[in-house]
Amino acid sequence: MIEKNPNNNLQDIHEFKIRFNETDPLGIVWHGHYITYLEDGRESFGKKYAGISYQDILNAGVYAPIVKCTCDYKKSLKFGDTGFVETRFINNPAAKMIFHYTIRNQHDEIIATAETIQVFTDLNGELLLLNPSFFEKWKEKWGQI
């Protein structure tokens, strides 16, 4: 059994390389691609902390749509840069998943900070007001309850 984690320090760091097709005419990453980097960070997090990947959620018979996404841009990434997205799980009692992100470049400069909120629905799109059992088991496994 993994011991309780009161500091909420479940986190993962995912490395990615900036490709030419992700840049705009100014030579910087187009702002919309940052949302993809967040998704890559969530998927990497879900693989590290087994049981919460997109496939795991689908296998549990639920969806987890994003209902809120915010991104604060601080600096720009450019073609050839290496980026790192740190994804942190924010524990809460509600039937939702909250993640905070910090995107940095290879010089450890903060490029952007972000947050996403996902809720749970059944396969018909009906909102679930209680945490699905797979998520409760996941939270227990990783010391979040």
Each residue of 86-106: pLDDT tens digit? 999 999 999 999 999 999 999
Residue 8, pLDDT score: 61
- Chain centre distance of CA 117: 9
The pLDDT of residue 128 is above 80: yes
> Which bin fits 8, alpha (ψ -120 to 50), beta or left (φ > 0)?
left
Domain count, the chain: 1
- What CA–CA distance (Å, rounded) separates 52 from 139? 10
On whether the CB atoms of residues 30 and 57 are closer than 8 A, the answer is: no
Report yes or no on 45 lying in a domain: yes
Report yes or no on 65 lying in a domain: yes
Report yes or no on 116 lying in a domain: yes
Report yes or no on 107 lying in a domain: yes
Report yes or no on 6 lying in a domain: no
On whether the CB atoms of residues 53 and 42 are closer than 8 A, the answer is: no
Of the pLDDT bands very low, low, confident and very high (cuts 50, 70, 90), residue 107 is very high
Boundaries of domain holding 93: 11-139
Residue type at 126 in one-letter notation: E
Alpha-carbon separation of residue 26 from 65, 72, 78 (angstroms): 32, 19, 9
Among 2, 4, 1, 14, smallest CA distance to 87 is for: 14
Report yes or no on 1 lying in a domain: no
Report yes or no on 5 lying in a domain: no
The pLDDT of residue 7 is above 70: no
**Which segments of the chain does DSSP mark as H helices, in order?**
33-48, 54-59, 133-141
Question: Tell me, what CATH number does 40's domain have?
Answer: 3.10.129.10
Report yes or no on 3 lying in a domain: no
On whether the CB atoms of residues 90 and 100 are closer than 8 A, the answer is: yes
Among 68, 56, 137, smallest CA distance to 96 is for: 68
Give tens-digit pLDDT for 22-77: 999 999 999 999 999 999 999 999 999 999 999 999 999 999 999 999 999 999 99
